[in-house]
Structure 1
């Protein structure tokens, strides 16, 4: 029998909101959820490819009881985590979870930016529920942003990096509104995974985001920022296929459904040769993502960080050990009998660099060809950028490194997205067992989540800061440990 609704109301600068309590108000672990709260007007019609327009105030009480519309339209369950797609136009919204709704609580705040290669993902995934953070005294806000063509395609007459503008608009909303939910706007930690982790680094590098975040935690950020030339070529191609010009006026007249279909078609892999496909993905990066535009991003993210942007923001950054193992799952039957050295050569690792990398990764080499290929592609796509990022932030606020090394029994490896349910301490969420197996280590979830809570509260997750000369790294595993250099295995790729 469903328990009766217990509503919670808050008065924000935009108007009064009605959310719903989960659990009895005032009891340990209870939290109130305010879902689908708009931070900007619906990006439709003339606003479709424009900068986000702040949400106009409303009269009366606005219900915030169900997830808001998502820019993600495909729906269904992804291979690694469930991605909720909610129809509707008002896609620029936030979900807020709080243990103490109302002004005066001054609790630390965690803002979450979802992943999905800038073309997919959903803030409404049940894996991102903020209940455990609320239990531990942290207000949580999950934000949405425009994806793919709508968010990142270069279009004549439209601002660049519209998805980045959405992040900044959402964080400005947090600054103005989060106190009404019990949050402290001076203690906002922005965290995200995969594309969301890249978003955290992008915000550090953007002068327009200064003052909007006090701390950052980047899980598995990919250094695959958008390539302006490739993105412009893709825009021209999609516009041509749609019978339009690559201009804001012309593309506004094309139905969203039509553009999404063309985007998926043109972004699909065009080669059945797996080594060719892997090489292209590693060399060319993502088709959409933040690009240098001279305004939001004055320089490439590593260069902007080296120039001092974001230097005032403490940062935690790390990766899973074998992010890309799932990408090779269907290739086992025809790759496992081929020598790893040969396949590494086919995808660009040769000579002295190959010998050095294999020597540094002897542990994974002993596990076979597929684990070796997955580790190398993971290094290229994620891990090799970490030492350079640390060097770029030399002299900045503390940077702390970590690795998530616990191996899922489902994949035999620490794969992409595996750390999310540990970060949120949400091992009972729907579909978790497909990634973690039936008995994930709860003590490890308490440790990872506890580090995130401590960082949101104080800026210190509980292990020493790293420097280029002393790259100390927390390795999350059973048991965990702090090691002198957790990314020594990528030195041949630096």
Structure 2
């Protein structure tokens, strides 16, 4: 590999040194807000005080405190990254750019997934070199997770992790021109929990003017907890810690204890008289909103932004296949899940059975899980955006079936990411335990998917027809 001199960029907060490689330039660990320490973990993000001299942006930042997540026989390290890398200053962004030359290139800001409790910019999947090679400035965002990020507490603003993303977008608006990006052509995109946050941004008035387009990959426009559901989680967390459910009581508690109570919060019954569990018991943390994002687009940037939105065809398999639950599932498991996520579980099961008449209980459970977590909320968001927005709406369905775990993983949650980021050929994604399995990824699909995301960021058109809510259809990728 060619050796390059390390570049330096002047940001509004101070100078930062990056590295130059064959894909362009990379600047890591740039703070967009002050470090969230002590009581500051439960406040809105505060401006960073800046620094003197040249900050070293050649090494990754710390990450938000987070637990280890195990997906059994599937290697998810490229998705989750290294886990908790300790350090206070983790409200940071990484910037990948072709060159910091004031070139006014399209900007894409990525919000990682991980169930609102895990994930970071460190994940190998999010390298971004392919975007830089295609003339895109890519920004990757770390944000608060778990208790500091999303537990609803008296005396603290709600949805602090979402507020972090808004602050990061503000940093982009103020400083991305120095990295060769166009602050007037910003696309914010996310996957899973990150996609649900992006959907919420579309309905957040404070995010107005911070982005022009949005991409929601396997998220949900109806994935927020109600205030009543949030109070149940807060009460359980406070009881597990033995403190009052208020920010001042939580302020002195170390992050290790927040992680230690997670098992006590697993499996809480969050069904109420008016709402089912939007996260199907997979996470006790998430957005807390009185109005679901799909129902609030007219009040935020969603009324003007272009939207690219979609899901994978077998999302639920990620949560069942790696531990053998696809084969061991029973009809009772299907009924229990449906009761958790549907107002009328019997009717919902009958509808899924009609669509999949030959499905095993495990396959039916996977379909119910995928629809409840991602499918129904994505459809509702797409329909709502097409009705109320002046921007365009484009819908996709990602159907490529990974051959991981003896070919059983299929078009599961996360499988589209290597194609979006242009890394589908990387050896660490292959083998029976790799996300894409032992078979080589189809090069044509990788090129087409990545190119569609780039085209959308440039012009708002990924290369297929605008969504018509009267005749819903999706562009199928990888069928």
Q: Which range, TM-score by smaller chain?
A: 0.7 to 0.9
- CA distance 1:381–1:16, change in 2 (3 Å): same
2:34 paired residue number: 41
- CA gap of 1:230–1:127, structure 2 versus 1, over 3 A, is same
Task: Quickly say closer, same or farther: Cα 1:407–1:45, change in 2 above 3 A.
Answer: same
1:126, 1:430 within 8 Å by CA — same for their partners in 2?
A: no
Among 278, 288, 296, the alignment partner of 1:291 is 288
* Gapped regions of structure 1 (runs ≥ 5): 24-29, 272-278, 294-298, 479-494
CA distance in 2 between counterparts of 1:408 and 1:251 reads 43
1:443 aligned onto 2:444 = yes
Q: CA deviation at 1:321?
A: 0.6
1:274 corresponding residue in structure 2: none
- The answer to whether the 8 A contact 1:244-1:254 is kept is no
Write the mapping of 1:228-307 to structure 2, written as runs, cut at 5 A.
228-262=227-261, 264-269=262-267, 286-292=283-289, 299-305=291-297
Q: Helix, strand or coil: the match of 1:96?
A: strand
Indicate whether 1:143 and 2:141 are aligned: yes
Residues 437, 283 of structure 1: alpha-carbon distance in 2 compared, 3 angstrom cutoff: closer
Aligned residues: 450
The residue number in structure 1 matching 2:358 is 366
**3-state secondary structure, aligned to 1:17:** strand
189-198 vs 431-440, which moves further: 431-440
User: Retained in 2: the 8 A contact 1:94–1:142?
Assistant: yes
For 2:216, the equivalent position in structure 1 comes to 218
Where 2:296 maps in the other structure, the secondary structure is helix
- Closer, same or farther: CA 155–332 of 1 in aligned 2, 3 Å: closer
Alpha-carbon distance change, 76 to 310 in structure 1, aligned in 2, over 3 angstroms: closer
Does the Cα contact within 8 Å between 2:9 and 2:17 map onto a contact in 1? yes
TM-score for the superposition, normalised by structure 1: 0.85
Structure 2 unaligned regions, length at least 5: 270-275
State the partner residue of 2:272: none
Secondary structure of 1:7's counterpart equals: coil
Structure 1 pair 270/106, CA: closer, same or farther in 2 (3 Å)? closer
Out of 164, 167, 170, the residue aligned to residue 169 of structure 1 is: 167
Within the candidate set 381, 403, 407, 2:401 is matched to 407
Q: Note if contact 1:344-1:350 (Cα within 8 Å) is conserved in structure 2.
A: no
Matched, 1:431 2:425: no
- Taking the aligned partners of 1:290 and 1:190, their CA distance within structure 2 comes to 18
Which residue is 1:59 aligned to? 52
Q: CA RMSD in A?
A: 2.4
Q: TM-score, normalised by structure 2?
A: 0.88
In the TM superposition, residue 58 of structure 1 has moved relative to its aligned partner by 1.7
Cα distance in structure 1, aligned partners of 2:70 and 2:232? 31
- The residue aligned with 1:384 is 376
